[in-house]
């Protein structure tokens, strides 16, 4: 008992000596969707919200940071949603961070350990992994927010050019992780989406009523996918390199591999081997225009208990975003293209898909931290699997949104 009292007193003294920082975002949104049942609600619709209009808490994000008087800090991020589709609250990130001071030669070491996103997104840079550019994320970042997260460690080595009189910075990032063995299920079974929802750490994701999942080829598969599950205890990895021109922009290139042993299934959850490469760039152009472009290409596969490759998909997606900010205004335009190629011979599991999406967003800063934003989204996609649910395989879905977002 004395030991626990001593530990409590020690922890209290440490936290009292540290600096506490709390920030957050409250996003109240009115939306109207012209489409089919949302993928969040076990449908094959490309948007987060179900058809017709609604008023929702699209995001209630809270970020807590504890900074000690050294390079070490702790971070916890939680998100809440009350959207009439799936109302919930929970953690999305939780990690310890080390950011060392640069050495005299310009090298600096940094590290994170905990529940992390892979270091990929160029859009979702605001509080609680929100985007300052648009209300909906690109298809790449919608997928990352849904099922590409893990428990792991991230290690970064930077060379800062200013220490040698250069305007060029270089960075190498390496990540090792687990709790990602089902990553690939959602990109296969409902395809690419445009969303603004991050999967909470404790959540499971509903699967649509497809022939293969409804008495067909995958009788062992549970009705929901657990996106942050560890089944084979292999370590996955992600590596990224970045070149940055100070004050102007950057280019980065990376590769992700969850290194899963396919053919395992436990409590209705199969293991998926998911790998992809990604390239991205972000630049400040003349007239206060910002350019972001990203491209991802990879494959995912899943084997049956008998060792047959029953799902074997290639996928790719890319977008270009232009954003212009002046005074209290910001206007952003994004165009993207995406596809899934089905390479297996499982007849009742057609995952083929191709399409494009357009987003036009306008925001106005009403006062410090408070933004009003209006947005139009359009997705034109072809997915044959929709025919099994009575919809056309070729479908145009549209969405109009108006949001009041307050950052504190």
Q: Which two tokens stand for residue 349?
A: 């599991």
- Give the domain ranges of the chain: 18-407
What residue has token string 């006062």?
367
pLDDT value at residue 306: 80
pLDDT value at residue 4: 45
pLDDT value at residue 7: 41
> What residues of the chain score a pLDDT lower than 70?
1-17
- In degrees, rounded to 5, the angle at the alpha carbon of residue 389 between the alpha carbons of residues 345 and 48 is 100
DSSP collapsed to 3 states, 155-206: EEEEECHHHHCCCEEEEEEEEEEECCCCCCHHHHHCCCCECCCCCCCCCCEE
CATH superfamily of 18-407: Porin (2.40.160.10)
**Which tens digits make up the pLDDT trace of 244-270?**
999 999 999 999 999 999 989 999 999
Q: How far from chain centre, in Å, is Cα 40?
A: 15
CA atoms of 403 and 30, how far apart (whole Å): 6
Longest dimension (CA), the chain: 68
Q: Which two tokens stand for residue 254?
A: 């990376």
């Amino acid at each position: 008992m004395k030991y626990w009292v001593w530990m409590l007193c020690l922890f209290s003294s440490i936290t009292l000596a540290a600096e506490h920082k709390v920030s957050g975002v409250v996003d109240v949104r009115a939306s109207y969707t012209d489409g089919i049942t949302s993928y969040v609600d076990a449908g094959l619709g490309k948007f987060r919200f179900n058809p017709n209009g609604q008023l929702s808490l699209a995001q209630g994000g809270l970020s807590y940071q504890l900074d000690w008087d050294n390079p070490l800090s702790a971070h916890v991020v939680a998100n809440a949603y009350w959207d009439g589709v799936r109302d919930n609250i929970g953690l999305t990130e939780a990690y310890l961070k080390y950011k060392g001071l640069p050495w005299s030669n310009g090298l600096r070491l940094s590290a994170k350990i905990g529940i992390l996103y892979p270091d990929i997104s160029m859009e979702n840079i605001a509080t609680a992994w929100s985007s300052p550019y648009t209300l909906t994320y690109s298809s790449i970042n919608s997928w990352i927010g849904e099922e590409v997260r893990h428990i792991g460690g991230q290690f970064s080595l930077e060379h800062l050019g200013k220490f040698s009189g250069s305007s060029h910075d270089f960075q190498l990032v390496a990540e090792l992780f687990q709790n990602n063995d089902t990553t690939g299920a959602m990109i296969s079974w409902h395809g690419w989406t445009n969303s603004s929802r991050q999967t909470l750490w404790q959540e499971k994701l509903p699967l649509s009523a497809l022939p293969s999942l409804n008495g067909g080829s995958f009788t062992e598969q549970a009705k929901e996918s657990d996106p942050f599950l560890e089944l084979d205890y292999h370590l996955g990895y992600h590596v990224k390199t970045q070149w940055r021109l100070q004050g102007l922009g950057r280019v980065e290139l990376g590769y992700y591999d969850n290194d899963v042993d396919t053919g395992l299934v436990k409590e209705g959850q199969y293991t998926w081997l998911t790998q992809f490469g990604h390239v991205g760039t972000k630049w400040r152009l003349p007239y206060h225009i910002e350019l972001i472009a990203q491209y991802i290409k990879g494959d995912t596969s899943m084997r049956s208990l008998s060792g047959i490759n029953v799902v074997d998909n290639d996928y790719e997606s890319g977008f270009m975003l232009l954003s212009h900010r002046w005074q209290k205004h910001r206007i952003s335009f994004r165009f993207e293209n995406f596809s899934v190629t089905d390479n297996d011979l499982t007849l009742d599991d057609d995952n083929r898909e191709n399409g494009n999406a357009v987003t036009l967003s306008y925001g106005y800063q009403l006062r410090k931290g408070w933004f009003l934003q209006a947005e139009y989204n359009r997705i034109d996609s072809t997915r044959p699997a929709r025919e099994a649910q009575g919809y056309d395989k070729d479908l145009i879905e549209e969405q109009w949104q108006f949001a009041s977002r307050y950052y504190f």
